[in-house]
Amino acid sequence: MSFAAPPLTNSASPQRTPTIGERQPERHQIVAERGQREVFCGLTSIVWLHRKIQDAFFLVVGSRTCAHLLQSAAGVMIFAEPRFATAVIGERDLAGLADANDELDAVVDRLLARRPDIKLLFLVGSCPSEVIKLDLSRAAQRLSVKHAPSVRVLNYSGSGIETTFTEGEDGCLAALATDAPARDEAAPRLLVVGALADVVEDQFRRTFAELGLTDVDFLPARQAQSMPALGPGTRFLLAQPFLTETARVLTNRGCDHVPAPFPLGAEGTLDWFAAGAAALGADVGAVREALSRRADRARASLQAAREQLSGKRVFFFPDSQLELPIARFLHNELGMELVEVGTPYLNRAQHGAELERLPQGTRITEGQNVDVQLERCRAATPDIVVCGLGLANPLEAEGVTTKWSIELVFTPIHGFEQAADLAGLFTRPLVRRARLEV
Ligand code: SF4
C-alpha cells in the first residue's frame, strides 16, 4: 500500500522566541503537528524509577486501567515485596471525596505499617475524574506530617492527559527537587539529573573522580536520605532529555543549567563530560585529552554496527523525547540517514546543543497527528522506524522494521561503554528482519 506524503506545514517556528542554547534553529525544518497521539502515559516511568530509588514506593491513585497498565508494563518482574501498587478509586461524587481521602489515608497507613523499609512514598495521580477531584498534593502534605520523620510523602502526576511516558520521571524528579534540602555553600557543585542505570551512574562517578572532580551529586539518589541539597552554586547537567519541569524547579531554586548534548554515543558523552567539567572550573582541553582514549575506544566499538547501519534510513515517531540525541548519534557516528525526527516536545533551551549537532536541514516534527505521520512514514519507506508499542505491531505486520522506543529507557545506553549497546538496539531488528526474509 502506498500513500502520497502530505506536505508539512511550518506552523511552529516563526512566532517562537529563541531561548538559551537555541543558536541555529533555522538550520532545520522544524514543524509542529497537533492531532491524535499514540503514547503511553507517565505511569510507565514507575517501571524504571522504582528500581532506581531503592527505598521508595509508588502508590498510583487510579483506576483498574492504571493497575493493568502497570502490571503489563512491569509484567515480567515478579517481586516478593513489590514497590508499586494501585489504590483503585471507584466512582464517587463530590460529597464522597472526604471518604476517598479517608480511604487513601487508611491504605497508606496499612502499607507503611506492613513495610517499614519504605522511606519515600510517592502518590502518583492519574486520569480518572474521581482522582482528578482529589487534591493529592494536600494528601501528600497531610500524610508526610502524619508519618514523619520515618517516611516522606510526595506526589506527582502520571496522568495520560498531562504526561507522555518519560514525563512521569520528570514529574517525579521535579517533586524531589522541590523537596530537597537547601544548600547554603556557594562553592560550585555539579548535579547530574536523570535516572540512570546504576552501572552507568557508577561509571560516570568514576570518570569524574578520575578527572579530579568529586563535587558531583546525582538526582535521583538511590536512597531517600541521600537526595542532594540544592541552591546557588549548584550547576545542573541533564543526563536525560525529558526533564523540562525538573529543570524549571532547579532554576527556581537558584541552580544553573549547564548546556550540553546528552551523554549518548562517543561524541555526546565526550562533550557532556567536557561541559560538566567546565562548570566546575576544570581545564576543558585537559579533560578532552584525558577522555580521548575512552572516546576512541567507544568509536572503535561501533565499527561493526557502522558497517550494517551506514546509509540506512531511519524514521522517528514522537515518543520518549530521546529522539533528537539518538538521531544525532545514528547520523554522526553510524552514518544513518534521518528521514524524519519526531519528538513529543522540543525544549529548545535543553536541546540546543543537539540541534547544533544534527545535520543541516533535518526534518523535525514536534507533537503528533498520528494518521498523517503514518502516511508520511509509509510513503518514505524507511529501513527502520522508532516508535511506541502501539504503532510497532501494526507496522511490523505491514513488513516495516521497528524499534520500540521504550527499550531506550529500559536499557543502559548512556556513556562511552554503552555506545555499542545503543547501536546494537538498531542493528538487531534489521538482522532479525533480514533473517525472516531469507
Ligand atoms: Fe491510568 Fe490515565 Fe494512564 Fe490510562 S492513561 S493508565 S487511566 S493514568
CA of 69 to the centre of ligand 1 (A): 7
pLDDT at 69: 86
- Ligand 1 geometric centre to CA of 63 (Å): 8
Q: How far apart are CA 303 and CA 50, in angstroms?
A: 35
Rg value, the chain, Cα: 22
Q: How far is the CA of 127 from the centre of ligand 1 (A)?
A: 6
- The greatest distance separating any two alpha carbons of the chain, rounded to the nearest whole angstrom, comes to 66
Instruction: Report the separation in Å between the CA atom of 263 and the middle of ligand 1, taken as the mean of its atom positions.
Output: 31
Quick one: pLDDT at residue 18? 39
Alpha carbon of 68 to ligand 1 centroid (Å): 9
Residue 70 near ligand 1, beta carbon < 6 Å: no
pLDDT 10s digits, 78-131: 454 678 888 887 766 556 676 888 999 999 999 999 999 999 999 999 998 888
- Best probe residue, ligand 1, of 60, 64, 66, 123 (max atoms within 8 Å of C-beta): 66
- pTM listed for this prediction: 0.91
pLDDT, position 426: 97
Sheet with strand 337-343: strands edge to edge: 29-33, 363-367, 337-343, 313-316, 384-387, 402-404
Please answer whether residues 148 and 121 qualify as being in contact, where contact means their C-beta atoms are separated by less than 8 angstroms.
Answer: no
User: Which residues does the chain have with pLDDT short of 70?
Assistant: 1-26, 74-81, 91-96, 98, 438
Instruction: In whole angstroms, give the CA distance from residue 395 to residue 381.
Output: 11
Evaluate: CB of 125 within 6 angstroms of ligand 1. Answer: no
Q: Which of 69, 86, 130 to mutate to test the pocket of ligand 1 (most atoms within 8 A of CB)?
A: 69
Q: Which domains does the chain have, with CATH numbers?
A: 25-39+302-437 (3.40.50.1980), 42-163 (3.40.50.1980), 189-298 (3.40.50.1980)
Q: Which helix (H) or strand (E) holds 277?
A: helix 265-279
Ligand 1 lined by 63 (C-beta under 6 Å): yes
Taking the C-alpha atoms of residue 115 and residue 300, their distance in angstroms, rounded to an integer, is 48
Predicted local confidence at residue 79, as pLDDT: 52
- Taking the C-alpha atoms of residue 41 and residue 312, their distance in angstroms, rounded to an integer, is 31
Nearest Cα residue to atom 1 of ligand 1: 66
CA 171 / ligand 1 centre spacing (Å): 15
Query: How does pLDDT run across 3-35, given as a tens digit for each residue?
Result: 223 333 333 333 343 343 444 446 899 999 998
Which residue is it, cell 557508577?
A: 202
Q: Could you tell me which of 396, 312, 323, 306 has the C-alpha nearest to residue 364?
A: 323
The pLDDT assigned to 270 comes to 98
**Residue 159 CA, closest ligand 1 atom number:** 8
Distance (Å, whole) CA 403 – CA 185: 46
Residues 6+ apart with CB under 8 A from 79: none
Give tens-digit pLDDT for 335-369.
999 999 999 999 999 999 999 999 999 999 999 99
Query: What is residue 81's predicted lDDT score, i.e. its pLDDT?
Result: 61
